[in-house]
Amino acid sequence: MSLRWMVRVVLLTCLGWALPAKAEVRAWLDREQVALGETVTLNIEVQGAGVAAPDFSPLDAEFERRGSSSSSQISLVNGQRSATTLFAVSLQPRREGELRVPSILVGGERTPELKIAVGPSPIDTGSGGDVFLEATLGASEVYVQQEVVYSLKLFYALSLWDGQLDAPTGEGLQSVRLGDDLKYQVERAGRRYSVIERRFALIPERSGTLTVEAARFEGTGLERGGYGGLIGSGGIRLSAAGKPLTLEVKPRPAGAEEPWLPAAELQLDSTGESWPAEIRVGEPLSLGLQLRAKGLLPAQLPELELPPIAGAAVYPDQAASRDLSSGEGLAGERFRRFAIVPQKPGTLEIPAVRLPWWDTGEHRQRWAELPARRIEVLPAAGTAAPSDPGAASSGTPADKESFARGPASPAYGLPAWPFMLLSLVLAVGWWLSLRRRALQVSVPAPAAPVEPSAAAPDLKAALREGDAHAISSALQALAPPGYGHSLRAVASALADVAQRDAVLALERHRFAPPGIEPASPVEALRAAFARGPVWRASDAGAGRAASRYPPLYG
């Protein structure tokens, strides 16, 4: 034999060793006869390890796959190593009769075709049978975006091992589950049933005729003899289907106000602290708005807003919402708090708040309303009340005529100037008395000023940097106990008039309404607090009175 032929023989021999042996495949069913609703397991065994999972999709024509698994086993016998891979898939027949299990490609080989006989189901899933479903709607006609309660009841006369009850579906419908399942027993046609009742809220998103698809139940039951069926055959597969339902959805009525809120009930309330009879400029008022509705989700409720308020700045807080739904139906709540800061003295009027909604029970437009409120606003502390420009021109035409005629009064024939002089003296004395009382109340005996070394370094640093927010925080931290921590409370605790005015200017600067930018108070603050704050004498009661209201941003 030539050298060339010897090389060819060696190469072919090595190649034969390198090629894997053809995988041996066998397939079998754990049972050859089952009842409709039961499952059967198809097992496929392949010699070798690392074999890719087969494609089971050819089985879907006659069977419903209920799960699959795989395992590998390696053994060593007489020094020879062998590996086996087992694939298993659980199948539920789709119909009665003799069904064909098609060939499956695995490891380069095909399994043989198998056959299985499927008999009728031992479980009656019709109405009045062993397992059946009933579905009802709370109303057959609703408005668009109005909830309708969908009740689904599963009746079963044998023990259930597990199961799945699908949620209702339909084009143009949103489904929300309500509460927990209800479980009870009933008697139908002389037969005892256990019942699982599940409720949903359906929200139609468009008008017209909508279809609620038939509900389905899939589960596993036990044979009437007890647990033997579950252990021996994996349980009895159960399935039941309800009937589709039709829902008529009416469009939004013509002339209905925005926003569109179809609800069974809707309430608009105000919450918060009791309001005083009067307030000063710059002192905040707290007002909370609460909106509750039955038949609507929180996401369907509008944002709460206050109308514009003349003479005041409004600072809304973050809105909050809460889902109050129960087994009876949907319910939602929205809440928002507002801080109202008067900007000028006079009568502050907070307009009424009105919100339209559609009463689905009475089929008419209704309004939720909060009445208007009024409160007297006094000038800021330490400022004089503006004079009445009409006071100088008040008086009857006769009085003006008499004054024009001169010092003699024709009514009495006596000179008028002594009476005028006396009235002027009395008015000046009365004004000086009031001024003296105001000074005694608003400017008590000052305490000793704080030396610069005793002043908080945070305040000095904030004044040096000119940061209004940092200055506010430092002053609020330095305020004596009992006065509160708002800027207005800090001002009331200061004995120095210049310092009080500077703090009030800082408050107006920080909480100015949108579009208004007051002059920066930093220079005035630096000048007033150059030697540190000068606090009033200790008076906890006065401090509490000065801070009747909570801070705007505590």
The pLDDT of residue 453 is above 50:
no
Q: Once rounded to an integer, what is the mean pLDDT over residues 387-408? A: 39
DSSP label at residue 58: G
For 74, 289, 315, the CA distances from 355, given in Å and listed in that order, are 75, 12, 21
Q: Once rounded to an integer, what is the mean pLDDT over residues 436-443? A: 42
Which range among 72-81, 403-412, 543-552 has the greatest average pLDDT? 72-81
CA 56 to the chain's CA centroid:
45
The pLDDT of residue 20 is above 80:
no
Task: Give the pLDDT confidence of 378-389 residue by residue, as tens digits.
Answer: 998 766 555 444
Stretch(es) of the chain classified as CATH 2.60.40.10? 131-250
Residue with tokens 């008499």: 402
Residue 207's pLDDT band (boundaries 50, 70, 90)? very high
- What's residue 519's pLDDT? 74
Sign of CA dihedral 125, 129, 132, 138: positive
Lowest mean pLDDT among 15-29, 245-259, 482-496, 528-542: 15-29
Q: Which fold does the domain 21-119 belong to in CATH?
A: Immunoglobulin-like (2.60.40)
Lowest mean pLDDT among 78-92, 142-156, 232-246, 387-401: 387-401
Whether 211 contacts 171, CB under 8 Å: yes
- What's residue 491's pLDDT? 84
Q: Which residues contact 361 (CB under 8 A, 6 or more apart)?
A: 264
Q: Which residues contact 179 (CB under 8 A, 6 or more apart)?
A: 199, 325, 326, 327, 328
Q: Closest Cα partner for 44 from 131, 106, 96? A: 106
The pLDDT of residue 403 is above 50:
no
Calpha distance 167→33 (Å, rounded): 33
Residue with tokens 């909060």: 370
Task: Give the pLDDT confidence of 44-61 residue by residue, as tens digits.
Answer: 998 877 788 889 999 999
Which range among 379-388, 457-466, 522-531 has the greatest average pLDDT? 522-531
The more confidently predicted of residues 486 and 186 is: 186
Residue with tokens 């009395």: 426
Calpha distance 220→236 (Å, rounded): 5
- What's residue 536's pLDDT? 81
- What's residue 427's pLDDT? 53
Residue 187's pLDDT band (boundaries 50, 70, 90)? confident
- What's residue 475's pLDDT? 86
Which range among 22-31, 156-165, 253-262, 412-421 has the greatest average pLDDT? 253-262
The packing angle between helices 497-510 and 468-478, to 10°, is 130
* CATH code given to domain 262-378: 2.60.40
Q: Once rounded to an integer, what is the mean pLDDT over residues 299-312? A: 92
Q: Closest Cα partner for 363 from 146, 136, 137? A: 146
Q: What is the CA radius of gyration of the chain?
A: 44
Task: For residue 481, give the amino acid letter.
Answer: P
Residue 255's pLDDT band (boundaries 50, 70, 90)? confident
**Is pTM, for the whole model, over 0.75?**
no
- What's residue 391's pLDDT? 39
Residue 94's pLDDT band (boundaries 50, 70, 90)? confident
Backbone angles phi, psi at 545, to 5 degrees: -65, -35
DSSP label at residue 535: B
Average pLDDT, the chain: 77
Residue with tokens 């020094």: 79
- What's residue 150's pLDDT? 95
CA 269 to the chain's CA centroid:
19
Domain 131-250 CATH class label = mainly beta
Q: Which residues contact 365 (CB under 8 A, 6 or more apart)?
A: 255, 256, 257, 356, 357, 358, 359
Q: Once rounded to an integer, what is the mean pLDDT over residues 6-22? A: 45
Residue 368's pLDDT band (boundaries 50, 70, 90)? very high
Burial readout 390-411 (b: 16 or more C-beta within 10 A, e: otherwise):
eeeeeeeeeeeebeeeeeeeee
Calpha distance 500→487 (Å, rounded): 10
